[in-house]
Amino acid sequence: MKTTNTIKAKINDQLIEISGEKAFMPLGSFLRNEEALTGTKIVCAEGDCGACTVLLAKDLGADGKLNFLPVNSCILPLYLINGAHVVTVEGIAQSKGMQFDLHEVQKKMVDCNGAQCGYCTPGFICSMVGAVEKIKGSDSNITEKKAKNFLTGNLCRCTGYQPIIDAMTSIDLNEVTLLKDRYYSDEWVKELKRLKSQSVVMNLGDRRLLLPNSLKEACLLKDEDVMIRLIGGSTDVGVVVNKGKLQTPKAMSLYHISELSRIIRDENYLIIGANVTLSQFESYIEKEYPEMAGILHIFASPQIKNQATLIGNVVNASPIADTIPFLMVSDAIVSLQSVKGLREIALPQFYQGYKKLDLLPNEIVTNIKIPHLKSNEKTKLYKVSMRKDLDISAVTFAARIELDDQTKKMTNVKLALGGVAATVLRLPVIESLLEGKVFDSALFDKAALDLPSLISPLSDLRASKEYRLKVAQNFLKKFALEIGGSL
Ligand SMILES: Cc1cc2nc3c(=O)[nH]c(=O)nc-3n(C[C@H](O)[C@H](O)[C@H](O)COP(=O)(O)OP(=O)(O)OC[C@H]3O[C@@H](n4cnc5c(N)ncnc54)[C@H](O)[C@@H]3O)c2cc1C
Ligand code: FES
Ligand code: FES
């Protein structure tokens, strides 16, 4: 087994090597304080404003070229960029001696007056370039809707968004030279593969940093020191660390373990590996699970989804996590691996209380298995939050039923509610009320009346308990209306 104790990456085509405690530093702070790349701004330091957006390529696309994706550098620890190429706003224009050739995105921002104070502009430029990297080749132009979707993770306090949207929709994709072509080098692709085939082990007194390259090694390390914390994309952990409420002196990332970076389809399940990001999951399920893809379209921002993992959302165990209701009604199974072997557990049993999991200290979550949909199954997912984009839910709902085409009988009724208790809940009492009955919206009205005796939501800054209860009741009625309407 090859092991190293440094992190190697490229920033704007320059090789960097990081060792020691610096490897725990957020990428954004490193860029500003150590590399003098001050175009990247840090404002909120919690993934919300997009001022710190940079482009990160740590995987190869189907064409064998680097896949540059926008991410929030303020919550991304340096150890998660091993083998990556990072392009900051300083690396977007092409230098020609003492001159610069602006990128098409930058030209349009100038033409459309897309900046006033300019503080948010580098973040917008990086997100827009990320959008162009994704869209060129699959689409001929950028619509206003697409522009807005790609920019949900960027806030501007002065320009107003219209000039920025105008800039993005006026980009001529034919004029764009993609970063993946400009920065392509055979040597770096080979080096990236070599770096990811090695394990990184840094033992720094009380601190440890581990990037094992096999599951066996990961399990041995976790067994030997249960204080090691698993890190997925760091979009939950990075925020809490920046707020000073958590330290991660011993961190392990699994992203060198290629078998955990895949989505596998077998006869019975879709198997989502621990390294699979929400963006990858979103693209994969678009056709098969349009309801879940719809929820992911309004989940956080592109920057967050390019980094965050599905497994991170599940293990973080928030009662308002957006993927859990869907996984609950899908009868998803969590795979837990340790030196003792594999343990598989149904998702509802995984949650034992507020952020309390059936996860042993030496176990690692390796994947989530989602059983395939049956043809007569109907699924609906709803989310209510204070605003549509980039907001955490107040209440979430998932329903899945099998509906007989002829008899209209409902079987295998599964309902889940989030934001009304310490964990996402299944609703067994209502499920049995509906089970085996002929579909009738009056049954759902009755269920909505029963709901207050079954849940006791809390009031917090997102919503009052009365509001949450009303929304939960309305979700049941909405489900009945939508299913009834389709019959
Ligand atoms: C701006 C912003 C917006 C957000 N919006 C939403 C939203 O709309 N909806 C929503 O549901 N969430 C949202 N989140 C929360 C977060 O992005 C998700 O929960 C995300 O899926 C976490 O994944 P991660 O890989 O980044 O997890 P991490 O932060 O890396 O880890 C989360 C937890 O999982 C544990 N963990 C990770 N991998 C493993 C493993 N393999 N085995 C065992 N334990 C593991 C970690 O130790 C940690 O406790 C948002 C966060 C931010 C910052
Ligand atoms: S500084 Fe606001 S998202 Fe990073
Ligand atoms: S131009 Fe000032 S914050 Fe956007």
Q: Tens digit of pLDDT for each residue in 61-93? A: 989 999 999 999 999 999 999 999 999 999 999
- Report which ligand 1 atom has the smallest distance to the Cα of 304: 17
Q: Which residues pair with 99 in a beta bridge?
A: 96
- Find the 326 Cα to ligand 3 centroid distance in Å: 37
Which is nearest to 424 in space by CA: 463, 388, 470, 455? Answer: 455
Given ligand 3 and candidates 156, 161, 164, which is best to mutate, with the most ligand atoms within 8 Å of its CB?
Answer: 156
Q: What is the residue type of 315?
A: V
Q: Which ligand is nearest to the CA of 390?
A: 1
Which is nearest to 211 in space by CA: 247, 258, 260, 254? Answer: 254
What is the β-pairing status of strands 85-87 and 53-57? Answer: antiparallel
Given ligand 3 and candidates 41, 159, 161, 164, which is best to mutate, with the most ligand atoms within 8 Å of its CB?
Answer: 159
**Tokens standing for residue 428:** 């067994």
Backbone dihedral angles phi then psi of residue 281, each to the nearest 5 degrees: -65, -45
Longest CA–CA span in the chain (Å) reads 76
The finding on whether 52 has its CB within 6 A of some atom of ligand 2 is: yes
The finding on whether 275 has its CB within 6 A of some atom of ligand 3 is: no
Q: What is the mean pLDDT of residues 122-142?
A: 94
- Report which ligand 2 atom has the smallest distance to the Cα of 41: 1
- Do residues 269 and 179 both lie within one domain? no
What is the β-pairing status of strands 85-87 and 7-11? Answer: parallel
- Do residues 409 and 320 both lie within one domain? yes
Atom 3 of ligand 2, nearest CA residue: 47
pLDDT at 486 over 80: no
Residues with CB under 6 A from ligand 1: 46-48, 229-237, 239, 254, 274, 278, 299-300, 304, 308-309, 311-313, 315-316, 321-322, 364-365, 392
- Report which ligand 2 atom has the smallest distance to the Cα of 73: 4
Global pTM value: 0.97
Q: Which CATH number fits the domain that encloses residue 339?
A: 3.30.465.10
Q: Which CATH number fits the domain that encloses residue 12?
A: 3.10.20.30
The model's pLDDT over 220-263, given as tens digits with 9 standing for 90+, comes to 999 999 999 999 999 999 999 999 999 999 999 999 999 999 99
What is the β-pairing status of strands 377-385 and 393-403? Answer: antiparallel
- Do residues 188 and 279 both lie within one domain? no
| Counted domains in the chain | 2
Report yes or no on 434 lying in a domain. yes
- Find the 381 Cα to ligand 1 centroid distance in Å: 20
Report yes or no on 221 lying in a domain. no
The answer to whether 385 and 392 have CB atoms below 8 angstroms apart is yes
Q: Which ligand is nearest to the CA of 71?
A: 2
CA distances from 214 to 115, 156, 288, 362 (A): 47, 43, 31, 16
Is 438 in a helix, a strand, or coil?
strand
The model's pLDDT over 314-353, given as tens digits with 9 standing for 90+, comes to 999 999 999 999 999 999 999 999 999 999 999 999 999 9
Of 156, 173, 195, which marks where a domain is finished?
Answer: 195
Query: Helix %, strand %, coil % for the chain, to 5?
Result: 35, 25, 40
The answer to whether 346 and 335 have CB atoms below 8 angstroms apart is no
- Find the 323 Cα to ligand 1 centroid distance in Å: 11
Task: Residue 140: give the domain boundaries.
Answer: 1-195
